[in-house]
């Protein structure tokens, strides 16, 4: 049984009606610009706090300021993969096409954040550790996450049958999710060069309040950016997947008339 809805008639109950691409498409178009605007404002505020307001670290000096980009990027790279795994599970259980589309819409952004986390970490590591890269548990498992993202994107793009691609990608997303807790707990399970978490749910933050606020604002900016980009990207995926349906043809006619 499928919960997909084939038209704009609003069939279905509650939030389930948004599982239909024709219903979700216009909603995504209305929400994306708002989240993009929020992301822009929060990014400016977060960078201002991080680079102009936050004090200089007494141990690392000015180089520590990369944390305002590195940490939110690392957080998002892990969380986006878990969200992909969630949508993959929903797609397999509920047989909703939109769930699989969301996994594909999120993957490129997750890969970008993962690469950004590795790149900024290398820039931070050189003055701190004396090297750009070491094969410790945290860095290696984070690199594996990047390969999982790229593998997901490559596999789903290579399979022409969209339903086969959806299910193959869902398997990668679900199996690869095992790597996320390994990344997070690696500094506790193994002896690594990477420092422990500066922010914890069970302990007080090990940084100045201003530093913490700057990092959290940047994390919220990354959240808003991810939502905006994913909504825009899933709209493109919907148009591609549903291009033979009447509602997409009508939508494209409307867009052409406005151009």
Give 157-206 as a DSSP string: HH-SSHHHHHHHHHHHHHHHTTHHHHHHHHHHHS--SS---SS-SSS--S
Q: CB–CB of 138/194 below 8 Å?
A: yes
Lowest mean pLDDT among 82-86, 178-182, 252-256: 252-256
Give the tokens for residue 204.
């007080």
C-beta separation of 229 from 31 below 8 A:
no
Q: What is the pLDDT of residue 193?
A: 56
203 or 81, higher pLDDT: 81
Q: Is residue 195 over pLDDT 70?
A: no
Residue range 30-34: mean pLDDT, rounded: 96
Tell me, what's the pLDDT at 208?
75
pLDDT for residue 9 is more than 70: no
Instruction: Name the 3-class secondary structure at 61.
Output: strand
Please identify which residue in the block is written with the tokens 């790279």.
77
Least confident span in 143-152, 203-212, 222-231? 203-212
Which pLDDT band, with edges at 50, 70 and 90, does 4 fall under? very low
The mean per-residue pLDDT over the stretch 194-198 comes to: 58
Mean pLDDT of 22-27: 90
CB-CB contact of 73 with 52 (8 Å) = no
26-35: long-range contacts, CB 8 A cutoff, minimum separation 24: 28/231, 28/232, 28/234, 28/235, 29/231, 29/235, 31/227, 31/231, 32/227, 32/228, 32/231, 32/232, 32/235, 33/228, 34/228, 35/224, 35/225, 35/227, 35/228, 35/231
- Please tell me the distance from the alpha carbon of residue 226 to that of residue 80, in angstroms, as a whole number: 9
- The encoded tokens of residue 151 equal 């593998």
Residue 10 pLDDT exceeds 70: no
Cα distance between residue 86 and residue 163, in whole Å = 18
| Entry pTM | 0.86
Task: Say what the pLDDT of residue 259 is.
Answer: 62
pLDDT at 180 over 90: yes
With pLDDT > 90 as the criterion, what percentage of the chain qualifies?
A: 55
Residue carrying structure tokens 């990014």: 43
The better pLDDT of the pair 83, 129 is held by: 83
β partners of residue 61:
57
Helix (H, G, I), strand (E, B) or coil at 145: helix
What span, in angstroms and rounded, lies between the C-alpha atoms of 220 and 225? Answer: 9
pLDDT for 91 equals: 94
Mean pLDDT of the region 129-145 = 86
Residue 201 burial by Cβ neighbours in a 10 Å radius (0-12, 13-18, 19+): exposed
- The per-residue pLDDT for range 52-95, each reduced to its tens digit, is 998 887 777 777 788 999 999 999 999 999 999 999 999 999 98
> Higher model confidence: residue 63 or residue 202?
63
pLDDT at 252 over 80: no
Mean pLDDT across the chain: 85
61 class by beta-carbon count within 10 Å (0-12 exposed, 13-18 middle, 19+ buried): exposed
Q: Residue 6's pLDDT band (boundaries 50, 70, 90)?
A: very low
């Amino acid at each position: 049984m499928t919960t997909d809805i084939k038209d704009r008639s609003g069939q279905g109950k509650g939030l389930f009606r948004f599982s239909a691409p024709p219903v979700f498409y216009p909603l995504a178009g209305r929400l994306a610009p708002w989240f993009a605007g929020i992301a822009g404002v929060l990014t400016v505020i977060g960078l201002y706090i991080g680079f102009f307001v936050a004090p200089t670290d007494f141990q690392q000096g000015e180089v520590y300021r990369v944390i305002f980009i590195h940490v939110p990027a690392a957080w998002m790279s892990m969380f986006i993969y878990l969200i992909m795994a969630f949508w993959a599970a929903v797609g397999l259980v509920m047989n909703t096409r939109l769930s699989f589309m969301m996994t594909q819409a999120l993957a490129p952004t997750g890969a970008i954040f993962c690469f950004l986390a590795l790149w900024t970490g290398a820039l931070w590591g050189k003055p701190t550790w004396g090297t750009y890269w070491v094969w410790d548990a945290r860095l290696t498992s984070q690199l594996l996450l990047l390969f999982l993202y790229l593998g997901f994107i490559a596999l789903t793009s290579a399979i022409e049958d969209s339903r086969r691609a959806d299910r193959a990608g869902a398997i990668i997303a679900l199996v690869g999710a095992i790597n996320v807790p390994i990344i997070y707990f690696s500094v506790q399970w193994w002896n690594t060069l990477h420092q422990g978490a500066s922010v914890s749910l069970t302990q007080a933050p090990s940084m100045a309040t201003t530093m913490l606020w700057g990092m959290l604002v940047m994390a919220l900016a990354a959240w808003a950016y991810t939502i905006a980009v994913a909504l825009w990207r899933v709209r493109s995926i919907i148009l591609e997947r549903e291009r033979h349906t009447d509602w997409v043809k009508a939508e494209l006619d409307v867009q052409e008339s406005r151009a």
